[in-house]
Amino acid sequence: MTSQQDLIQKASLPRALWSLSWPLVLAHEIQQVVLTILVFWMGHLIGERGLAVESLFRPIELMVFWFFLAPSIGASALVSRSVGAKDGRGFTILASMLTLNAVLLGGVIIVAIPFSPYIAEVIGGPHAESMFRYLVPWILLSLPGLALTEFVLGVIEATGSTKFGLVRSALDVCIMAGLVPLGMLGFGIAGAPIAVGIASMGLFAVLLLTVVRRRAELGLGDPPKRFFHRDGAAWRQVMAVGLPVVGVRVTTFAAQVLMLQGVGRESPTAAAGFGIAMLVMLYSSAVTMAVGQACSIIIGHCLGANLLDRAQRTVRTSVITGLSVTAIFVIAISAVSDPVILFLSNNAGVTDDATSAFSIMRWGLFAVCTWQIALAALTAHKKTGRAGLLSVIADAISLAVFFWWPGSRLIAACVAFCVAAGLKAAVFMTLLSVLRVEPRIADE
């Protein structure tokens, strides 16, 4: 047993959670910086047209990328169990899922490229030409590089080696700060996805080579005789675990976009205030998401090693830890919310609406923390199907609350946000409480 496996399976749970969580927290926060740098270069090197293209394409980019997270999420659940059980199947799972990713990426490229002019026209509107120049290299280079890198990184993190994410995030900052502006100077708006794609493919190759060389240390076992191979049963199992989790993210995002549009129709300043409040809260949810990811890794290892009691205690410890972090964040940000919001906008109307929105939605952060951790635990148990379906129902109820709430649309959106978070927290924790965990048999 490696020192990392020993930490996960034998150390105190608070220590194990902290050891796995802090690199994930930093990596998530650095990704926010990476996005900010991209927006900066778009605005300074391309201008208003670049900012418009980036803003219009970002929701589509997120949804497509989330779809490709499904194999990563499902494979990570299988790999963490495999490493915990020390059955040596981790590398075989990795190779099979890389094949699945290649098939999915090939399908998207074949379907999307012929229709890219029409897609660009629909998304870009008056900026269709610039959107087309951005879209094509994104499909051909950026999407495959980012998807494959994220997949291999997810498998590595599932073994408990979460510090690899920090290396990736640091490289992303360097790419955005140095390579992307060079690409824009040479290829215009297309330079951004070209630079990101080339750099991401290089990083994918480095990560894959690292996995091959350090497979014994990571507990992944030996590569299969045929590296790229089809395993239909494993593919179905992985997608059955990963797709519902992606569905939760997509429906949550879609509900928030619909509410934001409703708020914007009533008042553009209120929409801006709602967006700023959401941005501030992202920093808290990024931390608790990292705690949830660490919780999932520990549970997977424990289930593989038949440490069922430790797996159950991990959920309780993770929820308590996450709620404590959320409480600290709410208290700290509430104390300095005025200068923080003023830093993001100097418009009096926007800052007033942002302050009002945050004063309501901050209480929903406790429920957000709970459902993120509970969903991560369900993922480790490979029981996400019902969670995905019930999440859709929760978001539908929140939208009903938003549309039926009398008075201000801003207040309605804030209340609906808290309702959705509370429903998901209650439902996911209930699913965990009734979950029956059977001991793992040797040849499972």
Residue 250 and residue 328 in one domain: yes
The mean predicted confidence, pLDDT, of the chain is 87
Residue 351 and residue 262 in one domain: yes
* Tens digits of residue pLDDT in 385-444: 999 999 999 999 999 999 999 988 999 999 999 999 999 999 999 999 888 766 655 444
3 state SS of 324: helix
Task: Assign 1 a pLDDT band (cuts: 50, 70, 90).
Answer: very low
Residue 253 and residue 355 in one domain: yes
Q: Tokens 């799972």 map to which residue?
A: 93
Mean pLDDT over residues 197-201, rounded? 90
**Final residue in a domain of this structure, among 209, 230, 251:** 230
Q: Looking at the domain assignment, is residue 5 inside a domain?
A: no
Alpha carbons 356 and 379: distance in angstroms, whole number: 35
Residue 206 and residue 331 in one domain: no
Task: Assign 350 a pLDDT band (cuts: 50, 70, 90).
Answer: confident
Alpha carbons 395 and 258: distance in angstroms, whole number: 11
Domain around 404: 241-439
User: In this predicted structure, what is the pLDDT of residue 443?
Assistant: 44
Residue 215 and residue 273 in one domain: no
| ∠ CA 290-35-354, rounded to 5° | 80
Backbone angles phi, psi at 286, to 5 degrees: -65, -40
Residue 121 and residue 174 in one domain: yes
Q: Looking at the domain assignment, is residue 209 inside a domain?
A: yes
Range scoring the smallest mean pLDDT among 20-34, 42-56, 109-123: 42-56
Q: What's the domain count of the chain? A: 2
Residue 156 and residue 261 in one domain: no
Q: Looking at the domain assignment, is residue 125 inside a domain?
A: yes
Q: What percent of the chain has pLDDT over 70?
A: 97
Alpha carbons 405 and 403: distance in angstroms, whole number: 6
**Final residue in a domain of this structure, among 169, 203, 230:** 230
Alpha carbons 150 and 145: distance in angstroms, whole number: 8
Residue 154 and residue 255 in one domain: no
* Tens digits of residue pLDDT in 224-236: 888 877 888 888 8
Q: Looking at the domain assignment, is residue 7 inside a domain?
A: no
Mean pLDDT over residues 355-374, rounded? 93
Q: Tokens 């290829």 map to which residue?
A: 187
Residue 359 and residue 416 in one domain: yes
Asked if 254 contacts 402 with a C-beta cutoff of 8 angstroms, the reply is: no
Mean pLDDT over residues 172-184, rounded? 84
pTM metric for this prediction: 0.87
Mean pLDDT over residues 162-173, rounded? 83
Q: Looking at the domain assignment, is residue 236 inside a domain?
A: no
